Structures are given as C-alpha cells and as structure tokens.
Amino acid sequence: MNNNLLRKIGKHWSKQTEYQQKNSGLKLRWWQSKFVIKHINQTVCGSPVDGVSQGIINLAKQIAGEKIPLEHGISVGGGNGQKEMNLIRQKVVSRFTIYELAEARIEQGKELAKKLGIEDKVQFILGDAFQLEQESEKFDFIHWNNSLHHMLDVDSALSWSRSILKKGGMFYLDDYVGPNRMQWSDKMLEIASYARNILPEKFLIDPRNPDKLVSRVCKRPDLEKLIKSDPSECADSEKILTQVQKYFPNAVIKLTGGVIYHLALNDIIHNFDEIQDKPLLDLLMMIDKLCIDLGETHYAIALAFK
C-alpha cells in the first residue's frame, strides 16, 4: 500500500474519532446496543453475556484451554486498542503490539493503557504492519477485530497472518464479511426494508435530526462517495471467509448476522427502549437469524490454531 493512501486512510479515521466524540450521546450503531451485543454473544458462545466480542472471547478461552494466556499478540488496525487491552485484562494474551494508521486513535490508546496500568504490555506503532513485520513465526496470537475488512487484499493479509503466527498460535477473527463496499445484495435490501416497514413511525425518527424520519427503504451506499471517503472500507471483505478456510482449514467459523441489526436498524437503534421494546427486538433478531439460514450475513467469527 503506497504511503499517500496510508495517510489518507489514517486521516479519515482520525476524523471518525472526532465524529464519534461529537455524537457520543447517541446510540447509532449496533455495538452501542447492549441488547444486540448479547444477541451476538449468544449466537457465538451460547450465552447472552455482556460486552462487545465477549462471545468470541469466551469461545477462545474454551478452545485454547491451558494454552492461555498466549504470550505475544499482534493487531492490525487496532484503533485505540480497547479490545486488545480487554484480552490482556482477561488473561487471554499477555501483551500486544498494535498497528494503527490514525494518530488520534493511538493517542487515545496510550491514555487508556496508562489509565488501566498496563502501558508496559501495549506497544502502539504508527505504520503499515505488512511492511514492518516480516519475521516468520514471531507472534502467538493474531487479532483481527473489524479491521480485516479494511485490508485492500484479504488473501495477502491472511497469508501474512499465517506466516508470522507461531505453530500452536491462535488466529482470532471477529469481523465484517459481507458484500464489498457495502453493496448489499437485493435479498438483504428486501428483508431490511421489510423490517423497517413493520416498525411504527416513532422508531424511524432520525436521532441527529428529530424533525425528520429515516427512509423505510434501505439502499446501497453511493460507491464513488464511499471509496472517496475511505478507500479501505470493505474493499475486499466478501473474500474473507473463503480465504480464512484456505489458510486456516481447521477454523471454527460462526456466522453472526447483521442484515437487521447492522442495516435495517442503522441510525435508528437509538429509538428503542431495550426493556420496554424487547418483544419487538426479539422479533427483529429472529428475522436476522433467518437471514443467516438464507446465507445472508454481514458478520462472522473465526478461531483457529496453526
């Protein structure tokens, strides 16, 4: 990846950090919903536990057994390192090297590590991991959490992952695996739009502009605008699962859905009271599970040992 492109991607994610801080009081995305998080975790590990990615963490502990804590992990596109630090605190991994392109997120991460008292266990590096990490079988744990779908060449990223992973080391993936550039399939759009059409109007209020309603018709994002905004967004995402099976044929893979919670409820999940509206949310998650049965998913997890 050329340096100009790396800088552009890093600048985009630094701006995203500012945007997230500006809208911190709004629940706009599924990972801000405790209800959805519990639903995903139950799909992964069989228990509706709290915490983003806690389902895969519990499954990783179960599969790894006495092998944990794994000594040295690496994460590409790790943002502020919050997820990696969670793995350290839960004694899944002892220490992490985290690569990130957005300086703002690295600064956040350093502050967080200091606050948690684990700054000696977390190393942040601003740069391209594929260029800077070439040594074979160096790491005990490869961490991809909603960052592999930002790689421009998934095959190359997974080949690299296998190369730098030690024998007996763990490959860990919790990621978007849906259509490239979020160009949703016709079936996804049909089902997501149907879900919005069954919702009472109060659930369609735009949280950022309460005088307006979000459309009941779900559409694909404008391809040209999306690429211009972030050249890395879902660049090669639909290859992820097939390439995981190529490089880690023994991987445990579970599809975790998203047609409803990621597409249909995008921007409007803020309007749900997760206690009072639980029956409606349960119905929506049932539709999401049926989408998985149809082969329509946005997300998946994968775990494997080399």
CA nearest neighbour of 177 among 192, 194, 164, 158: 158
Q: How confident is the model at residue 4 (pLDDT cuts 50, 70, 90)?
A: low
Above 90 in pLDDT, residue 18?
A: no
Q: What is the pLDDT of residues 248-257, one digit of tens each?
A: 999 999 999 9
Does the pTM exceed 0.75?
Answer: yes
Average pLDDT score over residue span 92-119? 96
Tokens in use for 101?
A: 């392109």
Give the confidence band of 33 by pLDDT, cuts at 50, 70, 90.
very high
Whether 27 shows a pLDDT value over 70: the answer reads yes
Range of lowest pLDDT (5-19, 21-35, 108-122): 5-19
Collapse the DSSP code of 97 into the 3-class scheme (helix H, G, I; strand E, B; otherwise coil) and give the result. strand
Tokens of 139: 């790491």
Q: Provide the pLDDT for residue 12.
A: 56
- Average predicted confidence (pLDDT) for the chain: 94
b/e for 56-86, b at 16 or more Cβ within 10 A? bbbbbbeebeeebbbebbbbbbbbbbbbbbb
Helix (H, G, I), strand (E, B) or coil at 141: strand
pLDDT in tens, 107-136: 999 999 999 999 999 999 999 999 999 999
The residue whose two tokens read 């859905």 is 257
Quick check: 287 pLDDT over 70? yes
Give the closest residue to 225 by CA, choosing from 259, 183, 277: 183
23 pLDDT higher than 90: no
- The mean pLDDT of 64-79, rounded to a whole number, is 96
pLDDT band at residue 17 under the 50/70/90 scheme: low
Kindly state the percentage of the chain with pLDDT values over 70. Answer: 92
Query: By the 8 A CB rule, do 223 and 170 touch?
Result: no
Say if residue 9's pLDDT is above 70: no
Q: What pLDDT, on a 0 to 100 scale, did the predictor assign at position 25?
A: 75
Q: Which two tokens stand for residue 83?
A: 């997820």
CA dist., res. 98 & res. 11, Å (int) = 18
Report percent pLDDT > 90 for the chain: 90
Q: Is the pLDDT of residue 259 over 60?
A: yes
Q: Which of 272, 265, 279 is nearest to 30 (CA)?
A: 265
| pLDDT on residue 250 | 96
Write out pLDDT tens, residues 201-243.
Answer: 999 999 999 999 999 999 999 999 999 989 999 999 999 999 9
Q: What is the mean pLDDT of residues 245-270?
A: 98
Question: How far apart, in whole angstroms, are the C-alpha atoms of residue 205 and residue 30?
Answer: 17
Please say if the pLDDT value at position 165 is more than 80: yes
Confidence of residue 8 (pLDDT cuts 50, 70, 90): low
Identify the bridge partners of residue 253 per DSSP, sorted by sequence position. Answer: 302
- For residue 20, pLDDT over 60 is answered with no
At residue 292, does pLDDT exceed 60?
A: yes
Count CB atoms within 10 A of the CB of residue 137: 14
38-54: average pLDDT: 98
Question: What residue spans define the domains of the chain?
Answer: 24-75+87-92+132-305
3-state helix, strand, coil in the chain (%, to 5): 50, 20, 30
User: Is the pLDDT assigned to residue 157 strictly greater than 70?
Assistant: yes
